[in-house]
Amino acid sequence: MRVAEAGVTRHTLTYRCPIMTTHGLITERRVLLLTLTDEDGHTGVGEAAPLDGFTPEGIDEAEVALLAWAAEDGDESLVDSPTARAAVDAALHDLAAAAAGVALHQYLNPDSPASLPVAALVVGDTPDLLAEAALAATTGGHRSLKLKVGALPISDDLERVAAVRRAIGPEPAIRLDANGAWSPEEAPGHLERLAGSDIQFIEEPVSGIPALANIMHVSPIPVAADESVRTPFDLDRLIATGAADLVVLKPSAIGGISVAAKWAARARSGGMAVVVTSLLESSVGIRAAAHLASAIDALDPAPGLATAGLLATDLGTPLLPEAGFLRLA
């Protein structure tokens, strides 16, 4: 396979509602689309989607890196830009799969499934509205839900989570994400009380690997590391200290699907489960992550890839769940 042409274009994603992240509210977002074409006319696409607080680089640095790579300056230009690396990695794999005439997940692993369950992120201003949204998601086919906690007093979180559990019944899985909001002192008590709602796992109840390691030993709810793991060194430290039961991997933030596959293998050999999630990027990036999740069998817990519905402006064909599943082609 030889790349005959490489194009880099800028796009603006917009969201249906402002999205609250740990680093503020986002309403729109600039991303880069890398399109590669081979001599036979096959194409492959990849996305670079820098996000404040999640990636070291911004859009300008990612663009410089991609343009330098496209001008055949080699991979060195990508060193400081994990999002540009992710775009190149996805586009090259997508192109290779297209040239081979198979879906990307099959190119990566011939035995992987074309359909994968995804967890739905459920939001609502009141316990009733949240429970209503949760019920809509489960009757719509989702078997796993994700709820954000930690932004409100714990009494409100307890009420909200209990309302959801009551509404959806005992079967669907509920995962929580506190985004590191709680102190090491208050977290054990909060987890103890939330456990009554039968929680599958909680992301970042506290912030930082040492604090996660401490909470792991007392938490009645399995603990997942997310923001506390940014580098391969963090991952090694997480494994060495047994600081989590699971690790959340965002291929778009850490250098792409190849890097995510390596991290997943390391985490698993260290006894941890992996959850592949999006970075609230466009369907180009979500699609690459979904193919990876299928290929490495990271389907339980269900990947957090049901985020295309949050976008008002997407790139390419929106990858939206149908009956709780993403279907890959």
Q: Minimum distance between the CB of residue 133 and Mg ion, rounded to whole angstroms?
A: 19
Helix (H) or strand (E) holding 31: strand 24-38
Is 262 one of the annotated active-site residues of the chain? no
Between 44 and 82, name the residue whose CB sits nearer to Mg ion: 82
Beta carbon nearer to Mg ion, 63 or 203: 203
- The site for Mg ion (CB under 5 A) is made up of 177, 203, 226
Cα 203 from Cα 229, distance rounded (Å): 12
Select 94 or 177, whichever has its Cβ closest to Mg ion: 177
* Residue 51 CB, nearest approach to Mg ion (Å): 13
Contact yes or no for 1/96 (Cβ under 8 A): yes
Least distance to Mg ion, CB of residue 275, Å: 9
Structure tokens at 264: 């997943």
**218, 244 contact by CB (below 8 A):** no
CA distance 217 to 184: 12
Residue nearest to Mg ion (CB): 226
* 250, 260, 277, 293: the active-site residue: 250
Neighbours of 193 (CB within 10 A): 16
Beta carbon nearer to Mg ion, 94 or 203: 203
Which CB sits closer to Mg ion, 89 or 226? 226
Least CB distance from residue 314 to Mg ion, whole Å?
Answer: 22
The tally of CA atoms less than 13 A away on the side-chain side of residue 49 is: 26
Least CB distance from residue 204 to Mg ion, whole Å?
6
Nearest to 112 by CA among 102, 120, 122, 121: 102
Catalytic-labelled residue, pool 85, 146, 148, 165: 148
- Whether residue 31 contacts residue 281, with contact meaning beta carbons closer than 8 Å, is answered with yes
Helix axes 154-168 and 187-194, enclosed angle (nearest 10) = 20
* Alpha-carbon distance values, 149 to 72, 168, 192, 215 (Å): 46, 18, 14, 17
146 is catalytic: no
**CA 67/CA 77 separation, integer angstroms:** 9
- The catalytic site residues sit at 148, 250
